[in-house]
Amino acid sequence: MAMRAFPGGLGLLLCVALAGCATSSPTRMQFEASDAPEAEQVWPPPPDIPRYRFVGQLTGEENFQGDRDSQGVGRKVFGWLVGLMSDQQTPVVLQRPQSGYTDPQGRVYVTDVSRAAVYVFDQVEGALLVWEMAETGVRFKTPLGIVSGPGKEILVVDADLAQVVRLNNKGKPMGVFGKEVLKRPVGIARDAERGRVYVSDSKAHNIKVFDDNGKFLHEIGMRGEGLGEFNAPTYMTFANDRLYVTDTLNSRVQIIDRDGDVIRSLGRRGLYLGDLPRPKGVAADSDRNIYVVESYYDHLLIFSDKGEFLLPIGGTGSRIGEFYLPAGVWTDGHDRVYVADSFNGRIMVFQYLKEVQEAG
């Protein structure tokens, strides 16, 4: 479509606007924390020694800002001229985030069941990406678990498609696996050293194990309440040479070694803080602290490696440090803890203060 010519004065104004945009600073990703109080948010609160600090939250395109002072006037005029800033524009934001992971470069990948897509908060490129395709001509339906795959691949579990989707680092579909054996997959984890991919099958009540090529190898567990048995397992993580599995309807987390044997379980049914009536996401940090999302009462619960309850963060709400039906949790190489706060449409980010622990 040809662009309509502008009258002389308006054309000059357009050039000025474009020039203003051209000289703006690059867009960069930043954690949005504008609604946080001026005082630093830490847990536990003073006078106790802080163990976690609030970093910020990821919500969508608002996390990508340039230098507002340098680009403000030109951008606003240009937006007014071409209608880009009309009320009809809908911002790109998280809707119902479920789980995610953060790569070594700091890109944050998040599954969203409402948008039926993977969001990529790419701080390297300073852009928010939305990947919607599971296969050529097939969109995601219910993307849930996500993990780094071999090479630069990303592996995404789709519960309704009942398969694991392989994407390259640009979001292009590269194939699928698990169609023949998965019933309703939810979580995914990977042992990169051994080239093993673990997928929790909530409908089959077990863990399916594949190699990095997508070949089905064997199953771990069956339906039941004993150790090594599961009742609707959901999210998982592989860390510290261990597989951590949220055994949701058994109200516990099971910790399994590389041979498939249970090391221990933690959690129980109950109404007290620290109990796990409906656990979902699970993660671990470099000190083997274990993070469990307890979705029923909207808490992030922190346990020691031995299963001792250490600290809660949360409670129902939308303020900093509160959650509304949270789902997944994961950590990165800097011991940041990310919580998919599903019904608040955001990722809450906390910093584990490891240096404080070491100093103590």
Please return the burial class of 5, using the count of CB atoms within 10 Å of its CB with bins 0-12, 13-18 and 19+: exposed
Q: What is the pLDDT of residue 31?
A: 85
d(C-alpha 4, C-alpha 122), whole Å: 35
d(C-alpha 334, C-alpha 355), whole Å: 12
The topology under which CATH files domain 42-59+94-359 is Neuraminidase (2.120.10)
Question: What residues pair up with 203 in beta bridges, in sequence order?
Answer: none
Pairing between β-strand 262-266 and β-strand 290-294 as defined by DSSP bridges: unpaired
Using DSSP's 3-state secondary structure scheme, residue 248 falls into helix
Q: What is the pLDDT of residue 26?
A: 64
DSSP state of 9: H
Q: Which two tokens stand for residue 326?
A: 């949270």
Domain boundaries, the chain: 1-30+66-90, 42-59+94-359
pLDDT tens profile 294-318: 999 999 999 999 999 999 999 999 9
Would you tell me how many other CB atoms lie within 10 Å of the CB of residue 167? 22
pLDDT tens profile 261-279: 999 999 999 999 999 999 9
Q: Is there a contact between 269 and 251 (Cβ–Cβ < 8 Å)?
A: yes
Q: What is the pLDDT of residue 89?
A: 67
**Which residue's entry shows tokens 């403000």?**
72
d(C-alpha 116, C-alpha 247), whole Å: 25
- First vs last Cα of the chain: how many Å apart? 66
What separation in angstroms does the CA of 85 have from each of 15, 79, 95, 143, 244? 18, 5, 22, 31, 46
Residue ranges of the chain whose pLDDT lies below 70? 1-26, 32-39, 66-89, 356-360
